[in-house]
Each structure stands twice: as C-alpha cells, then as structure tokens.
C-alpha cells in the first residue's frame, strides 16, 4: 500500500520513500510478526510440503508468538523446490498464477516459482523502491540489460522501472554492439545490468573508440552476481556513473529483495516489511535453532517471505554468505554486507577457503591488471594436490614485462591475504571470455571423484 504522499511523490519525480520505508523499527517488527504469523499458517494450510515438514519437526503455526519463534521452524532448501517440481510448492490454484519464472537449473531440475497478480504488484513496488533508493527517478530513461525470459532479472527490473514511472528500454542481455548503439542514440539516464556485463559494455565501447565516461548514463543498478567495492570503483570511474547494488533471488521473489541507497552506498537494505532475514551458521551440519547468529556475524542468509501468495517461502536457505548490519539510509531496514560468495561456490584449496570475490578485490588494486579474470582448478597427473591458476588480462597500455612483475605481486598478495599458493598467468587484453549476464569465474577441471 502506498500512501497518497508517496504516490504524489512518484508523480512529481520527488524521491520521497514509501511509508513502510520510513516507519520505526518497533512498528516494522510488529508488522513482521503479524505477517509472519499469517504466512506460516497460510503455508501450513495450503502447501503439503510445509505441513509435512512442520509436523515432522513438531511445530505448529500457533507456536509462533514472537519473532524469535521463527527459529523453531524447519528450513526450506532448493532441493525441496526441486522435489516438488514443477508446481507443488504453489499455495494457490493454477488459474490464480499470473506468471511463472524458473532458474536455469545447471545441475538437476530447474526450480520453478510462481506469482499471483498481487505478488507481481508487490514485486514491482519493491524493485521501484530499490531503483529509487539507487538514484533512479520517475521520468528517467532506463536501459534494462538484464536477461528477459524465465530469469527474474529482465522482467522483474522492467516492471519495477515501469512502476516507478520510468521510460523503459527492454534491451535484455547480449548483442553488445547494439546496446552501445542504443545507449548513444536513446541517451538513457540509468542502466540495469550485472556488474560483469556492464564491464563488457564499457570494454566494447573503448574498443570502438567511444569513451565510456562520455555517455548519458548517470546511474547503474547492478546485481545478480557477487561484486566488490573495487569493481564499483572501476565501473564508476570508467563510466562516470554512480553504481549501486540490487539483490534478490528467484525463490524469494527476484531482484528487489534488497536495494542500496545512492547517498550512502553502504550495502543493500533488505525490505523487511516483505522479508524476514536471518543469518545461520552455514557450515554447521546440525543447523537448527541454536545456529541463528546475531547481527554482524557472518553466515548464510535465510529468508522468510511475509506477503507472498503464490509461493510463500519459510526459512529459505539462500547459500549466500554475508552478515546483517543496522539500517542507515532506511533506518528500520537492516542492510546486508556484500556477499562474499555462495557456500556452494567456495573453492577449498588444500584446506583453505577461497572465493572469486577475494581475487577480484586483490587484483583490482594492482594497476597493471584488469578486472577480467578466471580461476582454473586442476589436479595434475599423478599428483594429489589441487592447483589453482588465476588467469587474468593485463590492462591495454601495459607491457608484457611490467605485467610479469604484476603477476608476482598478485601471487604474493593472494598468499598473504587468502593463504593459498597459486599460479598467475597474465594474458593479452581481450583474450578471456566476456560476460553476457552472470559471469562464470570458476573452471573446475579436476577429475570427478
């Protein structure tokens, strides 16, 4: 529900937030509790999986008397969604489902998610809220380079930008030359893309002799994959823009579960009037009530939806590793720290844990090296030890000789900050595959066990 003030603010191009964005923490928690009580009862009554899981765990929706009681309820995992493929997680009859999205399902079956008309309206409202927080205003032209289709990025961002009152350019991902042409011709104010795809666009502009800092773009709202402060700096300087984060996942909604404020640029605010976040100890095999961690502690992010009709989701384990921080620009809504990685994307190299974002952070501090890199894991014949090779492009103007010393610096810095020994292979500019959306950084060539 938007208040008349917020509606008129949208119409006039003002930046006044929704009422729920500015309520006090106490008011917000009261709202969360009533919505949570409704959601667990609704899920229990309508989705057989939840009934089964709650019964097995010996909990009933009436056990939820205060917010911390949520810890008594069982988790939901991607595996649960796969087992209930395609529609058994839906809490409404199919004719009430207005849209379906699905994850690509690189391993096993895709996970399918559904939305009622009301869910779509809530989703658009939250994406609009996120974009507005990130500097986008009604009337602006928005170039949407998230992929359209079953992926929630394209259509989710599209509906949010429309709801905000923007002029949307639905270009989708790929066809980089064409993207550049349209950025020049249509002169958009904002671009929505994955960080690595924006990098691809900037890089292709440079190759065409266009200065990426000279375009009409002023704002970028970037997400769908992990990225670092160093990458933010790289993109902001190269493109002369303000770049903010947007976070989300299809199982919980899509983009817009959390969004970053341009005035603080200090991490995405989780829209807690629609989602209750928790952090759990991801690597404890017996995760349960006791494993809920306090604010500020690092662990796996877990979400419970508070308003969703088609796919209520209870304590969904995202596998995303981060921590909860106090709200700043939107004080009642806690922020999430940058996602260091996913628990299932962590490289364990001779006992040391490593994420691609750590390499990004270190590499981008070395002036000779570009943000284009891949991590290759191998186990050479006859050896028991795994080997990590960081393959990274040198910057355009850098000579082969100076990139050799940069390689040494990178290798040493990785050893110091991460604790892993690796080989660094500096390659020619333009020789590594470019991103079209979510970039694959890890190439695991080790023999399968």
- Of 201, 339, 359, 392, which one interacts with ligand DLL (CB under 6 A)? 339
In the complex, the smallest distance separating the C-beta of residue 370 from ligand DLL, rounded to whole angstroms, is: 21
In the complex, the smallest distance separating the C-beta of residue 9 from ligand DLL, rounded to whole angstroms, is: 24
Nearer to ligand DLL, 131 or 422 (CB): 131
247 sits near ligand DLL (criterion: CB under 6 A): yes
In the complex, the smallest distance separating the C-beta of residue 172 from ligand DLL, rounded to whole angstroms, is: 12
Cα–Cα distance between 224 and 122 in angstroms, integer? 19
Of the candidates 97, 198, 155, which has an alpha carbon nearest to the alpha carbon of residue 437?
Answer: 198
Cα–Cα distance between 447 and 333 in angstroms, integer? 45
Name 153's Cβ contacts closer than 8 Å, sequence gap at least 6.
146, 147, 194, 224, 254, 255, 437
Instruction: Judge whether 293 and 307 are in contact, CB under 8 Å.
Output: no
Nearer to ligand DLL, 253 or 392 (CB): 253
How, if at all, do strands 190-193 and 219-223 pair?
A: parallel
- Of 114, 153, 160, 212, which one interacts with ligand DLL (CB under 6 A)? 153
245 sits near ligand DLL (criterion: CB under 6 A): yes
In the complex, the smallest distance separating the C-beta of residue 43 from ligand DLL, rounded to whole angstroms, is: 20
Name 440's Cβ contacts closer than 8 Å, sequence gap at least 6.
none
Nearer to ligand DLL, 78 or 137 (CB): 78
Number of Cβ within a 10 Å radius of residue 297: 12
Site string for ligand DLL, 108-147 (x = CB under 6 A): --------------------------------------x-
Of the candidates 388, 374, 399, which has an alpha carbon nearest to the alpha carbon of residue 422?
Answer: 388
Cα–Cα distance between 242 and 67 in angstroms, integer? 36
- Of 228, 304, 305, 318, which one interacts with ligand DLL (CB under 6 A)? 318
Provide Rg for the chain, Cα atoms. 22
Nearer to ligand DLL, 140 or 257 (CB): 257
In the complex, the smallest distance separating the C-beta of residue 304 from ligand DLL, rounded to whole angstroms, is: 15
Nearer to ligand DLL, 253 or 422 (CB): 253
How, if at all, do strands 254-260 and 275-280 pair?
A: unpaired
Nearest position to ligand DLL, beta carbon: 223
Of the candidates 420, 338, 331, 336, which has an alpha carbon nearest to the alpha carbon of residue 375?
Answer: 420
173 sits near ligand DLL (criterion: CB under 6 A): no
Query: Residues binding ligand DLL: what is the number (CB under 6 A)?
Result: 21
- Of 272, 278, 309, 320, which one interacts with ligand DLL (CB under 6 A)? 320
In the complex, the smallest distance separating the C-beta of residue 34 from ligand DLL, rounded to whole angstroms, is: 27
Site string for ligand DLL, 204-243 (x = CB under 6 A): -------------------xxxx-----------------
Q: Burial, 58: exposed, middle or buried (Cβ in 10 Å; 0-12, 13-18, 19+)?
A: exposed
In the complex, the smallest distance separating the C-beta of residue 318 from ligand DLL, rounded to whole angstroms, is: 5
In the complex, the smallest distance separating the C-beta of residue 267 from ligand DLL, rounded to whole angstroms, is: 10
Nearer to ligand DLL, 64 or 311 (CB): 311
In the complex, the smallest distance separating the C-beta of residue 302 from ligand DLL, rounded to whole angstroms, is: 12
Instruction: Judge whether 388 and 420 are in contact, CB under 8 Å.
Output: yes
Nearer to ligand DLL, 33 or 155 (CB): 155
Nearer to ligand DLL, 28 or 224 (CB): 224
339, two tokens: 């996602």
Instruction: Judge whether 334 and 324 are in contact, CB under 8 Å.
Output: yes
Of the candidates 436, 426, 321, which has an alpha carbon nearest to the alpha carbon of residue 363?
Answer: 426
Site string for ligand DLL, 342-381 (x = CB under 6 A): x---------------------------------------
In the complex, the smallest distance separating the C-beta of residue 239 from ligand DLL, rounded to whole angstroms, is: 18
Which letter, b or e, does each residue of 414-443 get, where b requires 16 or more Cβ atoms within 10 Å of its Cβ? beeebebebebebbebeeeeebbbbbebee
Cα–Cα distance between 26 and 30 in angstroms, integer? 6
Q: How many residues does the chain have?
A: 449
> According to CB under 6 A, which residues from 248 to 307 bind ligand DLL?
248-250, 254-255
Per CB under 6 A, residues contacting ligand DLL are 103, 146, 151-153, 223-226, 245-250, 254-255, 318, 320, 339, 342
């Amino acid at each position: 529900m938007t208040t008349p003030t917020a509606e008129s603010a949208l119409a006039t191009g003002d930046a006044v937030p929704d009422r729920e964005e500015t309520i006090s923490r106490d008011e917000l928690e009261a709202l969360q509790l009533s919505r949570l009580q409704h959601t667990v009862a609704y899920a229990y009554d309508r989705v057989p999986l939840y009934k089964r899981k709650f019964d097995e765990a010996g909990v009933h929706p009436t056990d939820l008397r205060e917010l911390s009681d949520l810890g008594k309820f069982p988790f939901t995992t991607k595996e649960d969604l796969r087992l209930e493929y395609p529609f058994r997680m839906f809490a409404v009859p199919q004719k009430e489902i207005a849209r379906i999205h699905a994850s690509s399902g690189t391993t096993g079956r895709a996970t399918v998610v559904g939305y009622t008309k009301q869910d779509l309206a809530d989703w658009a409202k939250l994406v609009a809220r996120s974009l507005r927080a990130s500097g986008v205003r009604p009337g602006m032209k928005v170039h949407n380079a998230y992929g359209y289709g079953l992926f929630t990025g394209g259509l989710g961002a599209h509906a949010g930008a429309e709801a905000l009152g923007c002029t949307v350019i639905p270009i989708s991902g790929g066809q980089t030359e064409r993207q550049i042409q349209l950025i020049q011709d249509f002169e958009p104010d904002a671009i929505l893309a994955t960080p690595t795809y924006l990098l691809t666009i900037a890089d292709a502009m440079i190759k065409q002799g266009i200065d990426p800092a000279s375009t009409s773009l002023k704002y970028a709202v970037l997400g769908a994959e992990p990225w670092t402060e160093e990458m933010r700096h790289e993109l902001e300087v190269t493109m002369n823009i303000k770049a903010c984060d947007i976070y989300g996942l299809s199982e919980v909604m899509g983009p817009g579960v959390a969004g970053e404020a341009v005035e603080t640029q200090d991490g995405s605010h989780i829209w807690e009037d629609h989602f209750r976040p928790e952090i759990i100890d991801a690597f404890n095999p017996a995760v349960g009530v006791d494993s809920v961690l306090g604010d500020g502690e690092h662990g796996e992010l877990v979400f419970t939806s508070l308003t969703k009709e088609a796919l209520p989701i209870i304590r969904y384990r995202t596998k995303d590793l981060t921590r909860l921080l106090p709200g700043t620009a939107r004080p009642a809504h806690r922020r999430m720290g940058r996602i260091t990685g996913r628990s299932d994307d962590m490289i364990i190299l001779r006992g040391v844990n490593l994420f691609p974002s750590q390499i990004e952070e270190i590499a981008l501090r070395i002036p000779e090296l570009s943000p284009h890199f891949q991590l290759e894991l191998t186990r050479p014949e006859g050896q028991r030890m795994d080997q990590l090779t960081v393959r990274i492009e040198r910057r355009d103007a850098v000579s082969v000789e100076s990139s050799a010393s940069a390689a040494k610096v990178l290798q040493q810095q990785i050893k110091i900050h991460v604790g892993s020994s690796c080989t660094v292979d500096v390659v020619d500019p333009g020789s590594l595959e470019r991103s079209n959306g979510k970039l694959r950084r890890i190439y695991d060539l080790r023999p399968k066990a």
